Structure 1
Amino acid sequence: MLDSWTWLEWLALVEHELLLFAGVFFLLGALDEFAVDIAWFWLRLTGRAETPVLHTADLRHRRLGGRAAVFIPAWEESSVIADTLVHMLGAWPQADLRIYVGVYRNDAATLAAAATGAADDARVRIVIVDEDGPTTKADCLNTLYRALERDELRERFRAHMVLLHDAEDMVDPAALALLDRAVERSQFVQLPVLPMPQTGRRWLGSHYCEEFAEAHGKAMVVRGALARSIPAAGVGCAFDRDMLARLAKAAGRDVPFDEDSLTEDYELGLKIAELGGKTQFLRVRSDDGRLIATRSYFPGQLRRSVRQKARWMHGIALQGWDRMGWSGGWAERWMRLRDRRGPLAAIVLLTGYTLLFLSTVLAGLGLAGFDRPWEPSTFLLVLIAINLASFVWRAFMRFTFTRAEYGWRQGLLAMVRIPVTNVINIMAGMRALAAYGRTLRGAAPVWEKTSREGDPVRPLALEGGR
């Protein structure tokens, strides 16, 4: 009987099955997001999601509770590291600050740029990784950790906290003192990350704005209230020094960062909670309305953006499932499930866009006089209606959180950029699955970092803006 089907009937069958698959999984995703929305609204109503406002003028010069070590791993970062160091040294004048920059022996350009940025400031330590790069980010971080240990032995002190930052980060002047105070009560503290809008790259480079605005304005707030652990973003985060030593001991190593992981920073927050430590997502505004956050320009080119997100998905969703499992209560498991949905979401989005193309073709054929071989059932019509309504709601929430940090213009652009974001996430998901498949066949993880050449970085860029 199937042999007698026409090509139009086959197309209609594919359309029906794709609609059923995409509709069900889009609905599951919508319910997941709506549950987070409800939790966030409840926290707001009960006053637990309010962002406190602090008088931060004096925080920049506040004396620290002990030595603060900042780790900056740098491979091929000659275009940005000098500006980053100039900015950080100017924003954080405390004498107890020590910045450890890890550069590779075969990366002379980054070494020279780091030396230029450090100038004669004794608070900067440039540490040479004694092997050709790149290895993994965790390997570079472990080299910096060993350098800190050597300094502690030589100078007879014990660091109070360790901060992680990337080579392109623009820190907030109030952040160091704020983290220093928070680490007295928590073993891990994460500040929000705030991507900077890019005027010349408003479609690709700026699409990170709405993603982080919603994630760090809503999802992380809910996670902090419900779950035991807060994952580290790898930037703008601080660790209690003794907790890092505990992590190393628990893993049976002399260093805390796992060199087999692509997203070792993400795992640290989860591991600290498993060891009984307290983790905290710290969202605070200064009295001028500025969110105290780590600001950065994210990749503005398609290839670089896909490459970066693929590494996140590979490390967090796929490798994280293998390495971290599903421990914890229902809220912790829910949050880990949300962390790991990226590759599946990419497949569902690809299915949805394939369905959109096929439905457009069949609609065109209908206008040309070809009858559609099937009609949607009541169930499918209801499913489509619910998904359309959820899409409108999601677009509204994206607009709301983006407008709160970036203003009305970026809020409106956030809704228009949704297809662009989806396409990038589809491509990243496919790349992550391919990379994960290679590791299953025995390939070693590689630090596939995002090149910053051509991406804008400006020191002290938060002057005059939020």
Structure 2
Amino acid sequence: MSGHYGDEFAEAHGKELGVRSHLGLPLPAAGVGCAFARDALSLLALHRGGAPFRADSLTEDYEVGMLIGHCGLSAAFVEAWRAPGDPVVSRGAFPVTLEAAARQKARWVAGISLAGWDHLGWPPLAGGNGGRRRAWLARWMLWRDRRAPLAALILLAAYAGMVVTGIVWAGEALLGWTPPPIGDGFRLLLAVDAALLLWRLGMRGHFAARWYGMHEAMLSIPRAFVANIVAMLAARRAVLLYGRMLRSREVVWDKTRHSEAPPPAQPDPLADPLAIPVRIA
């Protein structure tokens, strides 16, 4: 169950965050592995009445990164290695059961897609052509971050379609059912959808292979379907969680439960920072 987290982070860090950094767009920060300049924290404090961090946010790290970018400060996604093939990464253990994963991801969805929308809104379309272009790109990335509830509905419809298709095939083979004919346009749509699905699975496998090897890349394909189940359960819980927060005006927090022992202690990468290769994506 926890392996799908690695697949998703490998793809996001290998592709999406690099693209955002290259385009100079706001970058979502993480609870670990991020650093802020003092002027950025000062700006946040001024923006929020003296408190740079919101106490009523479920995903404060994400919101801080996006707000810094919306205020015009620069950010960069940095890759660092202790040695070739030994990246500096967070090695925390993620939930290993379906229920725990759904609860933990529900907090992300509620904090980013729902409450985060309330807190951040949308970047204003101001300035010249360059500013408006950057604002539209930033809005597009925010939409990608906030689409989880809608994506869950589409996934639910797709999985329901798969079940119905399986029932029809079984009825055709066992009971002699005659399904209605499929038009050429619908066949073309199914072919395009199948090609896009293979492309997405190929991308996930590619980025998983970069960090974890071919064995994990092959496992990332069936894990993608597991991740979809978690996403649907998490979206449902997130909507309920957000509704409860609106009614009670209280933050409902589900902390990530790390159920495995931490890995053996590693040498401090900051002991000799000049020896760490760094690449800014």
TM superposition score normalised by structure 1: 0.53
In 1, the alpha carbon distance for the partners of 2:225 and 2:197 equals 12
Number of the residue aligned with 2:68: 272
In 1, the alpha carbon distance for the partners of 2:163 and 2:267 equals 43
Number of the residue aligned with 1:244: 41
TM-superposed deviation, 1:226: 1.9
1:92-103 superposed matches below 5 A: none
Number of the residue aligned with 1:207: 4
C-alpha distance 361-433 of structure 1, shift in aligned 2 (>3 A): same
In 2, the alpha carbon distance for the partners of 1:285 and 1:234 equals 20
Aligned partner letter, 2:186? L
Number of the residue aligned with 1:397: 203
TM-superposed deviation, 1:245: 2.4
Q: Any idea what the Cα deviations from partners look like across 1:39-95, whole Å, max 9, x if unmatched? A: xxxxxxxxxxxxxxxxxxxxxxxxxxxxxxxxxxxxxxxxxxxxxxxxxxxxxxxxx
Number of the residue aligned with 1:380: 186
Number of the residue aligned with 1:282: 78
Query: Does 1:305 pair with 2:110?
Result: no
SS at match of 1:256: coil
TM-superposed deviation, 1:418: 1.5
Q: Any idea what the Cα deviations from partners look like across 1:333-355, whole Å, max 9, x if unmatched? A: 11101111111111111111111
TM-superposed deviation, 1:297: 1.4
Q: Any idea what the Cα deviations from partners look like across 1:117-162, whole Å, max 9, x if unmatched? A: xxxxxxxxxxxxxxxxxxxxxxxxxxxxxxxxxxxxxxxxxxxxxx
Query: Does 1:432 pair with 2:229?
Result: no
Q: Which of the residues 254, 260, 264 maps onto 1:455?
A: 260
Larger helix percent: 2
Number of the residue aligned with 2:56: 260
TM-superposed deviation, 1:278: 1.3
In 2, the alpha carbon distance for the partners of 1:399 and 1:306 equals 23
Aligned partner letter, 2:235? G
C-alpha distance 354-227 of structure 1, shift in aligned 2 (>3 A): farther
SS at match of 1:283: strand
Q: Any idea what the Cα deviations from partners look like across 1:241-280, whole Å, max 9, x if unmatched? A: 232122112111x321111211111011111122222111
TM-superposed deviation, 1:406: 0.6
Query: Does 1:352 pair with 2:158?
Result: yes
Aligned partner letter, 2:26? S
1:143-162 superposed matches below 5 A: none
In 2, the alpha carbon distance for the partners of 1:333 and 1:304 equals 31
TM superposition score normalised by structure 2: 0.86
C-alpha distance 346-456 of structure 1, shift in aligned 2 (>3 A): farther
Unaligned runs of 5+ in 2: 125-134, 269-281
1:177-192 superposed matches below 5 A: none
SS at match of 1:261: coil
Provide the aligned length of Structure 1 versus Structure 2: 257
Aligned partner letter, 1:267? E
In 1, the alpha carbon distance for the partners of 2:147 and 2:74 equals 26
TM-superposed deviation, 1:292: 2.3
Number of the residue aligned with 1:326: 122
Which of 1 and 2 has greater Rg? 1
In 1, the alpha carbon distance for the partners of 2:172 and 2:43 equals 67
C-alpha distance 462-336 of structure 1, shift in aligned 2 (>3 A): farther
RMSD: 1.8
In 1, the alpha carbon distance for the partners of 2:215 and 2:267 equals 19
Aligned partner letter, 1:250? H
C-alpha distance 213-273 of structure 1, shift in aligned 2 (>3 A): same
Unaligned runs of 5+ in 1: 1-203
Q: Which of the residues 170, 173, 178 maps onto 1:371?
A: 178
In 2, the alpha carbon distance for the partners of 1:356 and 1:285 equals 43
Larger strand percent: 1
Partners of 2:59 and 2:112 within 8 A in 1: yes
Q: State percent identity of aligned pairs.
A: 40
In 2, the alpha carbon distance for the partners of 1:427 and 1:320 equals 20
Aligned partner letter, 1:292? V
Partners of 1:233 and 1:265 within 8 A in 2: yes
TM-superposed deviation, 1:286: 4.0
SS at match of 2:58: coil
